[in-house]
Amino acid sequence: MDIKNKLQWEDKYSVGVKIIDEQHQKMFTVINNLIDIIQNTPTKEDLTGVITSLIEYKKYHFDTEEKYFKEFNYEGTEEHVAAHHTFEEKIKNIEEKNGNNTISLAYDLVDFLEDWLVDHLQTLDQKYKECFLKNGLK
């Protein structure tokens, strides 16, 4: 089995807002937990726990960002919220595609999450950085 490297937080991912950076770092932890599970042969229960963590994280984090989008009248709101919906759909599709194949589900999830998180942090999230900082978030 191919063992994946864990994700490491880097300053380039920061949006300069403590609460949001902390939430992003939590996502790194969830992904790294999934990598640990893969290395130890995942069970359906293990993956259910990770998926539950993802759902909780997604709701809390996306709600946080979207609250500030509305509060600050962020011009990129529509694009960003659409990306959040795409994330939700992709997780659901991965679950449906893999059914009870826990190994395949685990690998598909970690591959998607790593790519999505790094890309999302370096592109879309950087777009709101100036708006949030200008409106006093730190």
Q: What is the pLDDT of residues 9-29, one digit of tens each?
A: 999 999 999 999 999 999 999
In a domain, 30, yes or no: yes
- Percent of the chain at pLDDT > 70 equals 97
In a domain, 129, yes or no: yes
In a domain, 7, yes or no: no
In a domain, 10, yes or no: no
First-to-last alpha carbon distance for the chain, in angstroms, is 42
- Domain limits for position 19: 15-134
Angle at 59 between CA 38 and CA 135, to 5 degrees: 120
In a domain, 37, yes or no: yes
In a domain, 63, yes or no: yes
Which CATH number is 90's domain given? 1.20.120.50
Q: Tell me, what's the pLDDT at 39?
A: 86
In a domain, 8, yes or no: no
In a domain, 6, yes or no: no
- The closest of 102, 106, 126, 124 to 114, measured between CA atoms, is 106
Q: How many structural domains comprise the chain?
A: 1
Q: Are 124 and 17 in contact (CB under 8 A)?
A: no
State the Cα–Cα distance between residues 117 and 122, nearest whole angstrom.
Answer: 8
For 52-97, how does the pLDDT look when each residue is reduced to its tens digit (9 = 90+)? 888 888 889 999 999 999 999 999 999 999 999 999 899 889 989 9
Report which DSSP code applies to 16.
Answer: S
pTM of the model: 0.86
Q: Which amino acid appears at position 24 of this protein?
A: H
